[in-house]
């Protein structure tokens, strides 16, 4: 995957102070898997990147508790092409109790999964040769750590990280099996192959982590016009 930044300013002013900065990123990849929650056993991808996956890519570039990313628009530049692959997965995970044992340095702790006993093959319907442009901005959360903690400071850090290839963690398209290559692009975005209007029905928007004991999925009606999904006024349902 290639993530490229085409920078611009979101002119939101309150009392003369700049409130947020916006960016556009170009996202490309050989394969992508944005799993539909109703089809998790034999994984099946949405037709294009979800807003939560787009936010995840931005957070992989730069994440701080002082800012919050907002996805405004998604441009789908290529028609979705699906292919089926077999993936090796494990059918279990390390339990919380085992992790606590490891923290206590218990000799009985098992801090690994034996893949020879737990591995299984699952079919996955994934996307091929994807290409998107994501328009986003960020707002300050109010959790200032320093006196000079300003939107401009964070914006410049984002630009520097993209230029130097220094990220919070590796970017990926839906699952970590599809790693990312990230570069800076300072030119206009290409046009979409898609024209007209398409209605993709209900689609995952994000997860509400307000109550950590009751994480709630948020959905929206995905409507596309000439390859663009506008999320600024999207109606969300829980």
Q: What is the pLDDT along the chain (238 residues), one digit of tens a residue?
A: 444 444 544 444 433 343 457 788 888 999 999 999 888 778 999 999 999 999 999 999 999 888 889 999 999 999 999 999 988 878 777 777 777 877 777 776 677 777 777 788 888 999 999 999 988 888 888 776 666 778 888 888 888 888 888 888 889 999 988 987 777 767 788 899 999 999 999 999 999 888 888 889 999 999 999 999 999 988 888 8
Helix (H, G, I), strand (E, B) or coil at 101: helix
What span, in angstroms and rounded, lies between the C-alpha atoms of 146 and 232?
31
CB-CB contact of 157 with 66 (8 Å): no
Which residue, chain included where needed, has tokens 């790693």?
179
CA dihedral (79, 193, 202, 237) positive or negative: positive
Residue 64, CB-side half-sphere exposure with 13 Å CA sphere: 20
Note whether 62 and 177 are within 8 A (CB).
Answer: no
Structure tokens at 195: 């024209």
* Partner residues linked to 117 by β-bridges: none
- Region label for 115, one of left (φ > 0), alpha (ψ between -120 and 50) or beta (otherwise): alpha
**Residues 232, 72 contacting (CB under 8 angstroms):** yes
What pLDDT does residue 7 have? 52
Length of the chain: 238
- Pull the structure tokens for residue 209: 């982590």
Contacts of residue 88, defined as CB under 8 A and 6 or more positions apart, other chains included, come to: 119, 120, 121
Residue 108 near residue 32 (C-beta atoms within 8 A): no
For 2-84+124-237, CATH number out of 1.10.760.10, 3.40.50.150, 3.30.70.2660, 3.90.79.10 equals 3.30.70.2660
Q: Distances from the Cα of 135 to the Cαs of 25, 117, 168, in angstroms?
A: 7, 44, 20
Give the pLDDT score at 149: 79
Give the whole-angstrom CA distance, residue 35 versus residue 172: 13
């Amino acid at each position: 995957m290639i993530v490229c930044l085409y920078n611009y300013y979101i002119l939101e002013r309150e009392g003369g102070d700049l409130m947020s900065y916006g960016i556009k990123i170009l996202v490309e990849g050989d394969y992508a898997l944005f799993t539909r929650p109703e089809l998790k056993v034999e994984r099946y991808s949405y037709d294009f990147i979800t807003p939560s996956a787009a936010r995840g890519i931005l957070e992989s570039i730069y994440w701080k508790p002082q800012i919050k990313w907002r996805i405004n628009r998604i441009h789908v530049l290529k028609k979705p092409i699906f292919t089926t692959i077999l993936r090796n997965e494990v059918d279990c995970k390390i339990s919380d109790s085992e992790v606590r044992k490891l923290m206590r340095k218990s000799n009985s702790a098992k801090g690994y999964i034996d893949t020879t006993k737990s591995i299984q093959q699952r079919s996955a319907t994934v996307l091929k040769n994807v290409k998107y442009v994501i328009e986003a901005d960020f707002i300050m959360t109010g959790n200032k750590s320093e006196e000079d903690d300003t939107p401009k400071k964070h914006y410049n850090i984002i630009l520097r990280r993209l230029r130097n290839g220094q990220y919070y963690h590796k970017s990926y398209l839906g699952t970590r099996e599809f790693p990312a290559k990230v570069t800076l692009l300072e030119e206009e975005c290409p046009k979409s192959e898609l024209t007209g209007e398409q209605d993709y029905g209900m689609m995952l928007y994000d997860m509400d982590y307000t109550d950590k004991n009751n994480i709630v999925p948020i959905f929206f009606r995905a409507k596309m016009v000439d390859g663009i999904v506008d999320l600024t006024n999207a109606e969300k349902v829980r």
